[in-house]
Amino acid sequence: MNNDLAFAGSIPALYERVLVPLIFQPYADDFAQRLASKPPARLLELAAGTGVVTRKLAATLPASTSITATDLNPAMLEEAARHPIAREVTWQQADACAPPFPHESFDAVVCQFGAMFFPDRVQAYAEARRMLSPGGGLLFNVWDDIADNEFADEVTRALAQHFPAASLRFLARTPHGYHNRARIESDLTAAGFADIRIETVTARSRADSARVPAIAYCQGTPLRGEIEALGADALVEATEVAARALSRRFGEGAVDGRIQALVVTATK
């Protein structure tokens, strides 16, 4: 497996406990608000991860909306299933590039911060379109440039300075590597979508201390694998380096940084 896709081991639990409140919850709330104005009857979520969007949608959308939540990584779905949810949801392991669902079986397809990981985005978008009913909508988001996401940017720069011989670039390469609007629009157009809209949405990432985002990014993402490859003590060392850098930039005690994403909608 591509190491950028390796959400396994202790990563899912850390992801849910630390990263979800740090950076994912505000955008889950945004998704729910957008969908609540015109609730779909049948909704499919791709790359559901540990279920932050799923839980918000289950609590916000009417009971008449059926929700199917999928992810490529069984470990992420197992973590999602451990957490309370407002009502029944169908959890299923599935590859967004080859989903096992019939044509026109959903009225909305949503994906929070998953498109960056798709090995063939045009194929994934074409599959989403295939599964949508006529007039159905695709809603997804991707992280903007890492420079516009302050904690991730600071961690990446600090690790590059401390480990100059290594290439600890997961955050810039993958989560923050798909933010070119023209490319996104071109991929969606190639997949057959129309009425494509891309909106910049900025939020705040807050934590009780700089150590929280340091642990989140160094230990709760596939960056962990890159760090651990440097040696037995590298993960502890990298986390401390990141925490010190974040403290220098954002201060001691509670920290507050900008996060920014592109929210994309398209219609079949």
Per-residue HEC secondary structure of 41-82 comes to CEEEEECCCCCHHHHHHHHHCCCCCEEEEEECCHHHHHHHHC
CATH of 3-267, one of 3.40.50.300, 3.40.50.2000, 3.40.50.150, 3.40.50.720: 3.40.50.150
Q: How large is the average pLDDT for residues 181-203?
A: 97
Model confidence at 168: pLDDT above 50? yes
Ranges of each domain in the chain: 3-267
pLDDT 10s digits, 45-104: 999 999 999 999 999 999 999 999 999 999 999 999 999 999 999 999 999 999 999 999
What average pLDDT does the segment 159-176 reach? 96
Per-residue pLDDT at 9: 65
Residue 192 tokens read as: 């057959």
Residue 139 pairs with which residues in a beta bridge?
110, 265
Given a contact cutoff of 8 angstroms between Cβ atoms, the answer to whether 139 and 265 are in contact is yes
Is residue 11 over pLDDT 90?
A: no
CB 258 within 8 A of CB 151: no
Q: List Cβ neighbours of 142 (8 Å cut-off, separation of 6 or more).
A: 113, 115, 116, 178, 179, 184, 261, 262, 264
Q: What are the C-alpha distances in Å from 102 to residues 99, 147, 148?
A: 9, 40, 39
Residue with tokens 């985005």: 121
HSE toward the beta carbon, residue 63, CA cutoff 13 A: 3
Q: Which residue has the tokens 């930039």?
A: 249
For residue range 37-56, list pLDDT tens digits in order.
999 999 999 999 999 999 99
What digits encode the pLDDT tens for the residues 216-266? 999 999 999 999 999 999 999 999 999 999 999 999 999 999 999 999 999
At residue 135, φ and ψ (nearest 5 deg) are 85, 0
Measured between alpha carbons, how far is 57 from 80 in angstroms, rounded to an integer?
14
